[in-house]
Structure 1
Amino acid sequence: MSTDATTTDRTALGRIGIWSSALRTGNGDPAHDEAVGAAAAELEALGYGALWIGGSPAVTQATPLLAATSTIRVATGILSIWDHEAADVAADRAVVEQAYPGRFVLGIGVSHSRLAERYARPYSAMKEYLTGLDSAPAPVPASARVLAALGPKMLELSRDRAGGAHPYLVTPEHTAKARAILGTDALLAPEFKVVLDPDISSARATAREYLSGYLAMPNYTNNFTRLGFEDADYRDGGSDRLLDAMFALGDADTVASRAAEFLEAGADHLAIQVVSDDPRTDLPLAAWRELASTLGLAKS
């Protein structure tokens, strides 16, 4: 096994990070790529501990963010096992690890049946994929990878064969249940959606538009059901009750209060996603700055 520095211990990522699909580069827009690099450098200066690249990124998409910064961790959130062969991922990760020791976290997940044509037997497929990472010429240490885990079986796999879990679209209640399964040693780094808008009706409209696509994915609705929600909560983009549970809606103080609930429930690190009108391309610097100040992240 590799002797790489442990990247997913419970303190390495800091308490608060940023999750954003807009942090992806290499899509043929040099201006956007330049803006991403500048944003990454500023997020590091603001005191965030990790950057999570959303939208099923490849390992190589972490390199521009690592190159633009000096200490912050960068993670894939989440690389789909159906889109990238384990041996290729391990090889790419070895290159990144050599260039930026201990700063890259490999986040992997099974995605969803509507997004992956080969989707089948997700739990078994993940186990086989982890074996592929273990047996690659340049293995990926368990400590250097986290799994997108929602249900009990995948959380157990995150504990037993990875450094921990990165659950997406969850609540503090789920975090407490996940911590109980993971035990005291594994990393727990949930993603957390926020809409910074003091007008609650407007904030809910933004959240509802974004959530509507996820409500067609059984992995999420099954998890919501485990948390006590019902079919009526999944109609018309989501009930107010569901939106209020899955998002922090309001001002930065509201976000700070909800963030504290996740941390008190057992999260080691919280990956905040600022949801805007187009979160897949927006780099909401003003919101990130405001949250860093309210959350007390500034390094200086």
Structure 2
Amino acid sequence: MTGDAAVRRWGLTIPLDGIPLPDQRRLIEELPDLGYTDVWSSESNVADAFTPLALASVWAPTLRLGTAIVPVYTRGPGTLAMSAATLAAAAPGRFVLGVGTSSDVIVEKWNGIPFEEPFKRARDTLRFLRSALAGEKVSREFDTFTVDGFRAGLVAEPTPPVLLAALRPGMLRMAGKEADGAIVNWLSADDVRTVAPYVHAGGEGKEIVARIFVLPGFDADTARAIGRRMIAAYMNVPVYRAFHEFLGRSDAFEGMWRLWAEGDRKAALEAIPDRVVDELIVHGDPDACREHLERYMEAGVTTPAIALVAPGDPSPMIRALAPR
């Protein structure tokens, strides 16, 4: 498993909403004392994946740092390797590189890069990174790109582990075979038992990081209303629709998918069953949220990466969700 197998991990997604980036220092400094072990960044249209982690590496020098995820398209292979090696060298033994294909919206519509052959691009990037991060000279024609004579001038010791964002069996198997584990999201605690065996088929000690959306301290009606909007936004994206068809939620989402396609957004939201929202969004009082998060770990998640989606100052919620 990535990192010390004896460590019971409890992660948080950064940067935090509602607080200017420089002002997050005091709260991030507090995280280890609260029992948090990890911070995990993301990259879409807010912060880049590396800068918040670089700040956290100085503010809280014991935290493990992870990207969840960096798209494999939006940086060239060499630039991606250099970014990872730099942070790994700045925080030796504390950095995990999480990569993934991201989406056609981020890659193609926002960055003007063709979103083609995502499975092969992820595989090729993993294979390139294995060599590049180890300091090897890489001259190779991959299926989706060619690298001619790249050798990293900075090689971190130890070499950072690499995880792959994965949803369905093909990518999950690749995460276990070609990477050090998988990063997953938008699944229930019970769903972990469905996806984990595909990852572990690739070998012993594979890590499974799950970004889990949490709404602590809200009444059920409010939490479900927020959750429905989030679910509709994601589950109408083809890759997430296919994921939940694989998980067996076709019947639960059939009404929402049909109404959304017809343009009736309000009715589509109302068609999402309460039980599905309760499975995919962790909500309730902090103790109930913590117990729900524990169920993910019991099912096979090695590192929960809590993503707070509630409005307002996140500080009280972060303290309330600290592991007991």
Q: What TM-score comes out, normalization by structure 2 length?
A: 0.78
Q: What TM-score comes out, normalization by structure 1 length?
A: 0.84
**Secondary structure in 2 aligned to 1:162?**
coil
Query: Does structure 1 retain, via aligned residues, the 8 Å contact 2:282–2:292?
Result: yes
Structure 2: where are the runs of 5+ without partners?
109-113, 133-150, 261-267
Q: Show the counterpart of 1:240.
A: 274
Q: Show the counterpart of 1:186.
A: 206
Query: Does structure 2 retain, via aligned residues, the 8 Å contact 1:10–1:185?
Result: no
Aligned residues: 278
1:149-298 alignment runs, 5 A limit = 149-183=166-200, 184-230=204-250, 231-234=254-257, 235=260, 236-237=268-269, 238-277=272-311, 284-292=314-322, 295-296=323-324
Distance 2:7 2:162 in 1: 13
Distance 2:186 2:7 in 1: 19
Q: Cα RMSD (Å) of the superposition?
A: 2.4
Q: Show the counterpart of 2:126.
A: 130
1:64-103 alignment runs, 5 A limit = 64-103=55-94
Q: Show the counterpart of 1:4.
A: none
Distance 1:121 1:46 in 2: 43
Structure 1: where are the runs of 5+ without partners?
1-6, 25-30
Q: Which amino acid aligns with 1:266?
A: G
Q: Percent identity?
A: 27
**In 2 relative to 1, CA 189–13 (structure 1 residues): closer, same or farther, beyond 3 Å?**
farther
Distance 1:88 1:13 in 2: 32
Distance 2:106 2:38 in 1: 26
Query: Does structure 2 retain, via aligned residues, the 8 Å contact 1:40–1:68?
Result: yes
* Alpha-carbon displacement from aligned partner over 1:186-227 (angstroms, at most 9, x marks no partner): 001111111113411111112223333212321112111222
**Secondary structure in 2 aligned to 1:91?**
helix
**In 2 relative to 1, CA 215–131 (structure 1 residues): closer, same or farther, beyond 3 Å?**
same
Q: Which moved more, 1:154-163 or 1:172-181?
A: 172-181
Query: Does structure 2 retain, via aligned residues, the 8 Å contact 1:194–1:272?
Result: yes
**Secondary structure in 2 aligned to 1:120?**
coil
Query: Does structure 2 retain, via aligned residues, the 8 Å contact 1:17–1:271?
Result: yes
Larger of the two Rg values belongs to structure: 2
Query: Does structure 2 retain, via aligned residues, the 8 Å contact 1:22–1:283?
Result: no
Of 36, 42, 48, 1:54 maps to 42
